[in-house]
A and B are shown apart, each in its own frame.
Chain A
Amino acid sequence: MKTLDQLDPGTGGIVEAIAGPMALQQRLMEFGVLEGETISVLAKAPLGDPIEIQIGGTRLSLRKTEAAAIRLAESS
C-alpha cells in the first residue's frame, strides 16, 4: 500500500483514500484532499518530518503520521 509519507520530494500521486482519525480526515478534506485529486510532496523539513505538500492551490505542512493517512493510487 502506497501512502503519501513514502513519497520523495518532487514526486506526486493521485489520492485514493483517506484514513486516520475523523478530525484529521475532515481537516484534510476541507483543504481539498479528496479522492482523485493530484497531490505532490514539495519538501521535507531538515529533520525529515514534517513534509510540505501541494494540493490544488494550497500548500500544507503535514506530519509524517498524518501523511501516512493519505493512500495513493498504485498506478501513479
Chain B
Amino acid sequence: MGLPITIALVGNPNTGKSTLFNALTGLNQRVGNYSGVTVEMKKGTMSLSATESHEIIDLPGTYSLAPRSLDEMVSVDLLLGHLNDVKRPDVIVSIVDASNLERHFYLTTQLMELGRPVVVAVNMMDVAKTQGIQIDLAKLRETTGLPIIPIQANRKQGLDELKKAVVAAVGSSPPKPVLFPSLFGDEVKRLADLTNNTVEQFLIARWLLDVGGHTEKQLSIKFPPEVSVAVGQARDRLTDAKLGVPGVEARTRYGWIRERVGQAVKRPAQRVRTFSDRLDSVLIHRVWGTLIFFVLMFALFQSIFVGAAPLMDLINSGKDWLATRLDNLMDPGPFRSLLRDGILKGVGGVLVFLPQILILFAVVAILEDCGYMARAAFLMDKIMSKCGLNGKSFIPLLSSVACAVPGIMATRTIENRRDRFATILVAPLMSCSARLPLYFLLIGTFLSEPWWLPGVVLFGMYLLGFVTAPLIALLLKRTVLRGETPVFVMEMPSFKMPQFTTVLRRMIEAGWAFVYRAGTMILASMILIWALLYFPNKMPDGRSYDVALDTLKTDLEQMPKNDEKVEQTEETKANDEAREAKQGEIGSLAGDWQRQSYLGRAGLALEPVFAPLGWDWKIGMAALASFPAREVVVGTLGIIYNQGEVDSGEIKDSKNPGDTPLGKTIKEEWSENPVTGKYRVAVAVSLLVFFALCCQCVSTLAVIWRETKSWRWPLFTFVYMTTLAYAGALIAFQVGRQLIG
C-alpha cells in the first residue's frame, strides 16, 4: 500500500459520526465548500503510519440517499465521483447505531449500490447492551456479506480494526446489492437504455423512486421530455403491479434487513425502559418539561447577554488602549487615522462578537450533542409553526435578542432550507443589545416622564421585534420562500453525555468561521466608512483637520489643571472656563470635519429623504454612518453635535442618559429646529422605530452572506429591513405629529 485512498464516512444523524471522524483525523481537518450548497463537508487526513495517510470525507448526516435538495444531492454526487475537486471515494464507511441496527441499515443498503466496497462500523455497542440487545457480529458478517467492525467512537475503541478493515477493503469487489423485484429492475434498465446508459443506474433508480426529488429535477431537464414521460409510465406500471413508488423501496430494503440483520440481533421481549426513556418523559412533560425548558432558555440567554459582557468589555478597553498608544506614537495623518479608526476599530468590531459566538455555540453544541435540542424543538414547534417556522427556529431567534450574529449562525441546526432561511432573514429584527445605547439615550432624553414611560417604551421596542419578526417570516414563507410543505418528521434521539471535545470543536469552528470569513467583510466595510468620514481632510485655511485637532488637544493638555482638593478661587474658575472653552473648540472642529466629510455631504444631500421622518440632515448622517454597527450612531451623534466622541457604554451605564452632555445638547438642538422642534418627541420615536427595524449592522449582513453562501440574501435583508424601518419611522413621526399637533 502506498497510494493515498479516499474514504467517505456516511451515517444517520446522532450516530456519533463526527466523534468517529474526529477520532480518526485528530486535528488534520478542513472544511470543504461547494457552490450553492449551505452544508459543510469536512475533509481530514487519517494516518496509519509515518508514511501512510489517507483522505477521509465526513458527509452530512442523513437518513437516506434520496436527495430532496441541492444540499443532499452533493452527498450523492460526491459518492458517485461527480464533484470536480474530490476523487470518487475508494471505500465507504457506513456508521450505524448498535441499539437501532435495523433502521440504520436502511442507509447502508443504499450505500451498497454505489459500486464501492462498504465497511460497516457498529457504534455504541454499550448502549445496545444496556437495552439488553445482543448482536451476533459473526452472523451479521455472514448474512450481509459486509465487513462489520464494532467500535466505541467516544472511547476510541476499535479504531485500529476499523482502519485495517478499510485498507483491506480497497479494490475488493463491491457488495451484492439488495435485490429489488424483477419488474422494478426491468424498468430501471429500460430507462437506462433511453438515456443511452449515460447515467448511473443508481441515479435512474432515484429518478424513478423519488417523486419530485432532486434527481428528477436535474435529470428531467438533461434529457428530452420523452424520458420524463417514460418515467411516469414506468411508475404507473409499478403501481399496477402493487410495487408503487416510493413504497417499493422501503418494503424491499426492510424486507432484506429483517431477513439478514434481524437474524443477528436478539432483543428482549419487553423493551427495557432505559434512563434515556425516563428522561425523555420528564423533559417533554406538560409541566416539568415546559418549566425545565424555560429555565434552560433563561440560562442560555443570560449566558450570552451577561456572561459575554466582561470579555466584550475587555476587548473594547484593549482596543481603546491601543488607540491611545497610536495617538501618542504617531503623527496625525491619514495613515494613523486608517490604523486607528479604520483597522483597529474594524478588528475590534469583529473580535467583540467572539465571546457571544463561543458561549452560544458551547451551549448549542451541548444541547445538541446530548439530544435535548430535539426536545426543545418538540416543545416549541406548535408556536413557531404559527408563523411558518418550526421548533428549531426558537433558539436562534432567542439568541438574536442578545445578538443576531451568533443567532444566525445557530440556524445551522435547522435542516429544512426554507425554514432556515426564513429564520435567518427575520433574526435581525429581534432587538439586540447593540440597539440599547440609542434606546437609552433617546428614551432618557425625551421620554423619561412620567416615571412609567421609559419602561413602557423600552418594552415596546422589544415588542416591535417580537411582533414584526413572525409576521415577516409568515410573509416570506408565502412569497420568496414559498414551496411545498416540508416534512417535519424529526428523530428524537436517545440522550447521551455530551462529548467535551465535540463541544470544543464546535466552538472553535464557529469562532474561526466568523473571524475568517465574515471578519474580512466587516473589516472592509469599516474601512470604507472610515474613508467616507475622513476625507476630504482640508480645512478652509488649508490645514488638515486631524493636525489641527491634535494641536488643540496638545494645548488642552498643557493648560493649567485644577487640583480637586484645592478650594475654588478666581484662578481655578478661570482655569476651568479656559479648559471648557478649549474643549468646546475641539468639539466644534471635530463636528466641522464630520459635517464636511463625504458622508456628511451625503447626509446633507439626502435631507429631503429624511425630512418625512422628521429628521434633519445631522440625524440622517448619523444613521448613515452607523451602517457598520448600530451602536456607532451614538458616537456619531456625539461628534456631529460637537460633543466629541461619546462612548456608547457611557450612555448605557449612566443613570440618566438625558442628563449627559450629549443628551442635553440633543434636546436643545432638536427643540430649536424651526420645523420639527415642536414635535421633538415624535422625532425621537421615529428614530427609535427606525433603529429597531433597520439592518445597520455589517456583521449581520456578512454572517448572512456566509451562511446562505450568496450575495442575494444579505442584500435582500438590507433592502427589506431598511424599507420596513423607513416606513415604520415615517408612520411614527407622521402619526406622532398629528397627536402632538
Distance in Å from the Cβ of A31 to the closest Cβ of chain B? 7
Per-residue contact bits, chain A 54-65, to B (CB 8 Å; 1 contact, 0 not): 001111111100
Instruction: Tell me the smallest distance from the CB of B376 to a CB of chain A, in Å.
Output: 11
Tell whether B459 is near chain A: CB-to-CB under 8 Å. no
Tell whether, in the assembled complex, residue B246 and residue A22 are in contact, meaning their CB atoms are under 8 Å apart: yes
Q: 1/0 per position for A18-52, CB-CB distance to B under 8 A?
A: 10011111111111101000000011011111101
- Chain B residues whose CB sits within 8 angstroms of the CB of A21 once the complex forms: 484-485, 487
| Candidates A29, A32, A49, A58; contact of B381 at CB < 8 Å | A49
Minimum C-beta distance from B125 to chain A (A): 15
Name the A residues within 8 Å of B254 (CB-CB). 32, 34
Does chain A have a CB within 8 A of B656? no
Interface band, chain A: 20 to 34
Q: Is A5 an interface residue (CB 8 A)?
A: no
Closest chain A residue, CB of each to CB of B133: A57
Indicate if the CB atoms of A52 and B492 lie closer than 8 Å: yes
Interface string of B43-78 (1 = CB under 8 A from A): 000000000000000000001101010000000000
Chain B residues lying within 8 Å of A45, measured Cβ to Cβ, are: 284, 378-379, 381-382
Q: Which of B64, B383, B492 contacts A59 (CB 8 A)?
A: B492
**Chain B residues within 8 Å of A62, by CB:** 488-489
Are A56 and B103 in contact (CB-based, < 8 A)? Answer: yes
CA distance in complex: A48, B286 (Å): 9
Tell yes or no: B247 within 8 A of A by CB.
Answer: yes
Contact present for A46 and B374 (CB under 8 Å): no
Once bound together, how far apart are the Cα atoms of A28 and B385, in whole Å? 20
Contact A23 B68 (CB under 8 A): yes
Smallest CB–CB gap between B589 and chain A, Å? 61
Given known contacts A46-B289, A52-B378, A26 and B489 CB-to-CB distance under 8 angstroms: no
Look across to chain A and name the residue whose beta carbon is closest to the beta carbon of B106.
A30
A32 touches B247 (CB 8 A): no
| Known A21-B485, A34-B250, A50-B488; contact A61-B378, beta-carbon cutoff 8 A | yes
B250 touches A30 (CB 8 A): yes
* Interface hub of A25, A29, A60, A66 (most chain B Cβ within 10 A): A29
B645 within 8 A of A: no
Are A63 and B383 in touch, CB under 8 angstroms?
no
Return chain A residues, CB-CB under 8 Å to B211.
Answer: 22, 26
Query: Which residues of B sit under 8 angstroms from A22, Cβ to Cβ?
Result: 211-212, 246
Contact of A29 among B250, B284, B286 (CB under 8 A): B250
CB distance from B141 to the nearest CB of A (A): 21
In the complex, A26→B559 CA distance in Å? Answer: 81
Asked if B441 is at the interface (CB within 8 A of a chain A CB), the reply is no
Residue picked from A30, A42, A43, A47, most chain B C-beta under 10 Å: A30
| Given known A-B contacts A45-B381, A49-B382, A24 and B286 have beta carbons under 8 A apart | no
- Number of A-B residue pairs, CB cutoff 8 Å, is 114
In the assembled complex, the CB of A42 is this many whole angstroms from the nearest CB of chain B, namely 8
The complex places the Cα of A57 from the Cα of B99 at a distance, in Å, of 7
Closest to B101 in A: A57
For the complex, give the distance between the alpha carbons of A2 and B488 in Å: 22
Report the Cα distance A52→B381, complex, angstroms.
12
Residues of B contacting A31 in the complex (Cβ-Cβ under 8 angstroms): 63, 103, 489, 491
In whole angstroms, what is the CA distance A6 to B731 when docked? 48
Q: Is B419 an interface residue (CB 8 A)?
A: no
A38 to chain B, nearest CB (A): 11
- Check A29 against B212 for contact (C-beta < 8 Å): no
B487 touches A66 (CB 8 A): yes
Kindly report which residue of chain B lies nearest to residue A53, judged by CB atoms.
B492
Contact B281 A46 (CB under 8 A): no
Indicate if B156 sits at the interface (CB-CB under 8 A).
Answer: no
Is B100 interfacial (CB 8 A cutoff)? Answer: yes
Of the candidates B63, B285, B487, the one whose C-beta lies within 8 Å of that of A23 is: B487
* In the complex with contacts A29-B250, A56-B100, A61-B374, A50-B381 CB distance below 8 A: yes
Indicate whether A57 sits within 8 Å of B212 (C-beta atoms), given known contacts A45-B379, A47-B382, A50-B378.
no
Q: Are B489 and A28 closer than 8 Å at their CB atoms?
A: yes
| Distance between Cα atoms of A25 and B378 in the complex (Å) | 21
Given contacts A25-B247, A31-B103, contact A63 B385 (CB under 8 A): yes
B290 touches A27 (CB 8 A): no
Smallest beta-carbon distance B368→chain A, Å: 15
Contact, CB under 8 Å: B103 / A60: no
Is B102 among interface residues, defined by CB-CB distance under 8 A? yes
Is there an interface contact between B63 and A30, defined as CB atoms closer than 8 Å?
yes
Query: Given A29-B250, A45-B379, A46-B379: A66 and B488 within 8 A (CB)?
Result: yes
Q: Does B377 contact A (CB under 8 A)?
A: yes
Which of chain A's residues have a CB closer than 8 A to the CB of B106? Answer: 30, 32
Q: Is the CB of A32 within 8 A of B290?
A: no
Closest chain B residue to A58 by CB distance?
A: B103
What are some 28 contacts across the A-B interface (CB < 8 A)? Answer: A21-B485, A22-B212, A23-B484, A25-B247, A26-B64, A26-B66, A27-B63, A29-B249, A29-B250, A30-B106, A31-B491, A32-B106, A34-B250, A34-B251, A45-B284, A49-B381, A49-B382, A50-B488, A52-B284, A56-B100, A56-B103, A58-B103, A60-B492, A61-B492, A62-B489, A63-B381, A63-B385, A63-B488
Add 19 more A-B contacts to A22-B246, A45-B378, A56-B102 (CB < 8 A): A22-B211, A22-B212, A23-B68, A25-B246, A29-B251, A30-B63, A30-B250, A31-B63, A32-B106, A43-B284, A43-B285, A45-B381, A47-B382, A50-B488, A52-B378, A61-B489, A61-B490, A61-B492, A63-B385
Please name the 5 residue pairs, one residue from A and one from B, whose CB atoms are nearest each other, closest first.
Answer: A29-B250, A57-B100, A47-B382, A59-B492, A26-B246
